Chain A
Amino acid sequence: MRAAVVVFPGSNCDTDVVTGLQTVLGIAVDRLWHKQTHFDAAYDLVVLPGGFSYGDYLRCGAIAAHSPIMAEVKRHVERGGYLLGICNGFQILTEAGLLPGGLRGNAGLQFICRDVALQVANRNSPFTCALPNADLTLPIAHHDGNYLIDDDGLKRLQDQDQIALTYTTPVNGSVANIAGVLSANKRVLGLMPHPERAVDQAVGNTDGREIFLSLQTTIGA
């Protein structure tokens, strides 16, 4: 399995992704600068990390979604590659039209930084197939994680089994408590929680490991 993480100006979780994947899967992760217009087609997984790309100017992820590398990220998806957007990465994916819906300010207007309980709504996807039956606990740290989609869009998500994760109790105002969304072909996942921050027992929680192990199960070593 070959993986890369895209670095935008203001990304601040790229190193967590590199360390997380190294810790869980023992694979080296390349960093790609957002100004690149092409990258190696051999990457199985590309990750858009958390952070505050472009200072959250305009809307979270809006400027990054128009970065030069995003055209190549779209080609990666068309080639059948796997794409994971975490937190700001999820916001970028919705702004780029790679996932439906959008993310706006939390209903309580506050930045929320704590562990949350999550229910796995789809256990068959490449990102969730190795998850245990119990609920997950993962950290969140965001101001704009309030997932919005219209009724027709929500019905499509439900009909096509595209809801990956939901908060077990309301957290930020998200429609249907949605915390993570899959593309129709299930090869793109965007989620607000940070699995890469929960892979080492030293930080007290390893629930995030299973997401990366699911990918390894799907893609192979």
Chain B
Amino acid sequence: MSKNIRFTRTTTFAMLAGASLLLASCSGGGNSGNGASEGGSASSPGASSPSASASAPESAAASPASASQASASPANASPQEKVTLSFWYGWTGPEGEAIEKLIKQFNDSHPNITVKGLSQSDYQKQLTAITGGNPPDIASQFGQNVAAWGTKGAMIPLDDYIAKDNVDLNDFIPGALVSSQYDGHTYALPIAMHFTMLFYNKKMLADAGYSAPPATMTELKEYAEKLSVVQKDGRLEVLGLWPGIDSYTFSQVYGGKFWDPDTKQVTPDDPGFKQAVQFSKDLWDKYGSENLDRFSASLGKYQSAQNPFFSGKYAMTIDGEWLPTFIKQFAPSLDYGIAPIPYSEDHPELKNAGNINTSVLYIPKGAKHPDASWEFIKWFTDKQQLVQFTAALGNLPTRASTLDDPSYDAVPGFKEFTDYAKSPNLKSFPSLPFFSEYSDALTKAVNDILRGKTTIDDGLAGVKKTIQPLVK
């Protein structure tokens, strides 16, 4: 169930999580035993420079002056002698092949640089490689880790490169770009993004007498209740909407903030977020944990024809841009629609809200040829490559100028998503160095709140108490 409140990940990572278990766990398991000491053996080299500049109180994003310290080494321009770069990316299978295709194009067009790709979905490996002083030259990451890794000096800031090559950061979708930035520095560039919208089963809605999807939160609740089929003993047969909705997305609906930059306070008790949790809680309590658990245990696999939305167990679902591709694959006859996330009547100005997650590329600290690495990242985030990459994966592009590219016409459902991507109310969880802790604490709290182990106020106050001390 926590799966449903937590971030919905990309297809990529959903699939990857399954496919890469073997790899991840073998190494992960090995690490855990004496993990504490592994980093220790090699903590010395250059642990200071990037983080030093990161903590400087500058605010102008990407201004050439702001990152002067960080650029001490990569002074001269494009490399003259031949270099070979290693590139660790988290994608596997067909998605990995799409990356390899791009790598080949890059190598063909850049005689001096040879990039060697490695599908390495155990992201913790990057940590040990960086602390061990032998990192890849380019690596992929989740956007939400950038602040943590960037401020700790694991990522080389890209500010100077961006300034030097006049990369137009304004073309990046703001909600996607901010996840790669912290305290005025850009540590990575987003290459793909994800957010969720409302999917609804047209037939089930029509049978219940609805001709249009719910537009407001009140309607969403009404639809959810009316579309559910509950037996006399409380057993669920059909759910209008799974109550453990993604509280980050719905927090945006109510204008919820998780962080107050002025007072440097985490604000899990923000009224907007509270409202989102309350919405979930009301719906949850209508059925109760026991019935919901039993129901959810009976549901089929996400990536199969038994996906509850495909099989009519859910009348509506909140899901990402990859879902239409799955529907086409697993349930081609499903008559469905994609609609904006409903808005709250109290906040009509926040229509078309959503929560963005990104995948990013960065240069790890200690990379031997940062200039060449940047060359690759710059090339990869160019319009043309970005479109090729995201269209192949069925992920959303991160540059506004690519949203109307005809390459996406072939991807099912993308029209709705690329249009929605233009909404100014798409935000992302604030970029914070303690994101993982914060997010885990929120997930735990929401779980306890829904299951009645604590109240909303107590639960969220508990999060604040745990997380606020992490603010530096």
* Chain B binds chain A: no
Residues in A lying within 8 Å of B, measured CB to CB: none
